[in-house]
A and B are shown apart, each in its own frame.
Chain A
Amino acid sequence: GAVVSQHPSRVICKSGTSVKIECRSLDFQATTMFWYRQFPKQSLMLMATSNEGSKATYEQGVEKDKFLINHASLTLSTLTVTSAHPEDSSFYICSARQVHEQFFGPGTRLTVL
Chain B
Amino acid sequence: GQSLEQPSEVTAVEGAIVQINCTYQTSGFYGLSWYQQHDGGAPTFLSYNALDGLEETGRFSSFLSRSDSYGYLLLQELQMKDSASYFCAVGVRNYGQNFVFGPGTRLSVLP
Q: Which residues of A approach B to under 8 Å, CB–CB?
A: 1, 32, 34, 36, 42-46, 49, 51, 57, 93, 97, 100-107
Contacts and interface: CB of A to CB of B under 8 A. Distances in A.
Given A42-B103, A43-B104, A93-B42, 9 more contacts: A1-B45, A42-B104, A44-B101, A49-B98, A97-B97, A100-B48, A102-B89, A105-B42, A107-B41
Contact of B96 (A32, A101, A105): A32
Contacts of A97: 96-98
Interface residues of B, number: 22
A57 B95 CA distance: 7
Interface of B: 31, 33, 41-45, 48, 50, 87, 89, 91, 95-104
Q: Is the interface of A mostly helix, strand, loop or mixed?
A: strand
Nearest to B45: A101
A112 B24 CA distance: 35
Nearest to A50: B96
Given A104-B43, A106-B42, A46 B104 contact: no
B103 A43 contact: yes
